[in-house]
Structure 1
Amino acid sequence: MNEDEKKVIEQIVINTVKKLISEKDNPNRVVLGISNKHIHLSKEDIETLFGKGHELTNIKDLKQPGQYAAKEMVKVIGPKGSFDKVRILGPARPESQIELSLTDARTIGIKAPVCESGKLEGTPGITLEGPCGTVTLTHGVIIALRHIHMPPSVAEQLGIKDKDWVTVETCGIRKTIFCNVLARVSDKFDYEMHLDTDEANAAGLNNNDYLKIIPNR
């Protein structure tokens, strides 16, 4: 590729980004949040790992209301390897859940299914090691299904219902079409799409990029 061709491509990318920024308030433009591997813990498991009565420490609010990144981290141990210092997200949940990318799961020898958050039946288990104890889960490891958190006001404008499937389009040199994106509609949600690191890297995406929703008819 010569310099003139590079300049043409760069200008196309710049113009596309400007167009997306100018249209970011349109209901079919959704901001992206990229999910690195992380853990949701039950109150019982928090106390086993960090001590009785321990409460998670909020160090950063996330875009979804009431959700936050906690100061606390644990070691995640699989059959073929482990990850140190995996972040916990709060608040506590009824049941513990570990979200990995496909690459993460393969690295530590876990065959985790791609599924919706909270749908843990039949999922593999894993061991978590904290400063005060160890928890061996019988299930709870997933690769999170790509999804969009959507308030009812936006869903109504787009003609989308909770649990509908939509298609999402990116832009740029590595333009990608994501099919089978689950719409999760609730008045408890802020408008945001979630991809894991594998999916985002493959499409050359960054946090806070704007993507285009194409409802499936």
Structure 2
Amino acid sequence: MNVDLILKKVMKKIEEDYSIPIEVSARHVHLSKDHIEKLFGKEYSLTIKKNLSQPGQYQYQERVNLIGPKGVITGVTILGPARDKTQVEVSRTDAIKLGIKPPVRESGDLKDSETIVISNEREVVKATESVIIAKRHIHMEPKDAEYFGVRDKQSVGVKLLSNRPVILQDVTVRVDESYKLNMHIDHDEANCAGCEEGVVGLLIV
């Protein structure tokens, strides 16, 4: 048998067995209960539009606007459930448009992050230390981590098998029983690699 053909089959098998679904995460807001009340009114209940890939998380029908020193981004998605503190996740391109310099952080790490103004047709609130550029990461169940031979908080590389393949370094592995296997990147990273729907990544430990 042709050696090149054997090699191609082996590589295809590796990609199938060790690939990770890639999900592009657009700009969005996780509102605190206090900010939901201030923006939409006391006792207001946001309307769930659809469930997200991660169990127990969903997108609301309502939208908000982000107001920065140099620009405004309208119609920004709100994700649920509500959090103790508002968190806003944007790309580097979004940050430039808004005129802010948010740090690259893991979700929930908001100390000394950027401040933004959030509005809707009804009200305006100031979200202090709330804006980050989300650090690229992989969600895994414990069984996935065992299969891939990685651990929670480990930093790995991932090759995006896209139209313009790139290797992303410093990808954080996040392991929890509630997670479903996929990798989250933002639009800047996706555009750089020419990602389209259905793209997967190959873990490089």
User: Partner residue of 1:121?
Assistant: 111
Q: Please give the secondary structure, in 2, of the residue aligned with 1:47.
A: helix
Q: 2:98 aligns with which of 97, 102, 108?
A: 108
In structure 2, the CA distance between the partners of 1:107 and 1:65, relative to structure 1 (3 Å rule), is same
Cα distance in 2 for residues equivalent to 1:212 and 1:58? 33
User: Partner residue of 1:9?
Assistant: none
Q: Counterparts of 1:75-90 in structure 2 under 5 Å?
A: 75-90=65-80
Indicate yes or no: 2:143 matched with 1:159.
no
Cα distance in 1 for residues equivalent to 2:46 and 2:32? 11
Cα distance in 1 for residues equivalent to 2:95 and 2:112? 16
Q: 1:37 aligns with which of 4, 27, 48?
A: 27
Question: 1:173: Cα distance to partner?
Answer: 4.2
Task: Report if aligned partners of 1:48, 1:132 keep a CA contact under 8 Å in 2.
Answer: no
One-letter code aligned to 1:79:
P
Task: Report if aligned partners of 2:140, 2:182 keep a CA contact under 8 Å in 1.
Answer: yes
Cα distance in 1 for residues equivalent to 2:99 and 2:162? 34
State the superposition RMSD in angstroms.
1.8
Task: Report if aligned partners of 1:110, 1:124 keep a CA contact under 8 Å in 2.
Answer: yes
Q: Could you list the runs of 5+ residues in structure 1 that have no partner in the other structure?
A: 1-14
In structure 2, the CA distance between the partners of 1:94 and 1:208, relative to structure 1 (3 Å rule), is farther
Cα distance in 2 for residues equivalent to 1:173 and 1:214? 19
Task: Report if aligned partners of 1:74, 1:84 keep a CA contact under 8 Å in 2.
Answer: yes
Q: Counterparts of 1:38-187 in structure 2 under 5 Å?
A: 38-187=28-177
Q: Please give the secondary structure, in 2, of the residue aligned with 1:138.
A: strand
Task: Report if aligned partners of 1:50, 1:131 keep a CA contact under 8 Å in 2.
Answer: no
More strand by share: 2
One-letter code aligned to 2:173:
A
Cα distance in 2 for residues equivalent to 1:68 and 1:35? 13
Q: Please give the secondary structure, in 1, of the residue aligned with 2:54.
A: coil
Cα distance in 2 for residues equivalent to 1:120 and 1:162? 20
| Higher mean displacement: 96-105 or 156-165 | 156-165
User: Partner residue of 1:3?
Assistant: none
**Could you give the per-residue CA deviations for residues 140-187 of structure 1, whole angstroms, max 9, x where no partner exists?**
100000000011001011221110011101234411000000000000
**Could you give the per-residue CA deviations for residues 13-36 of structure 1, whole angstroms, max 9, x where no partner exists?**
xx99xx48x954x2x211011011
Task: Report if aligned partners of 1:32, 1:206 keep a CA contact under 8 Å in 2.
Answer: no
Cα distance in 2 for residues equivalent to 1:173 and 1:86? 28
One-letter code aligned to 1:170:
L
One-letter code aligned to 1:210:
V
The aligned length equals 197
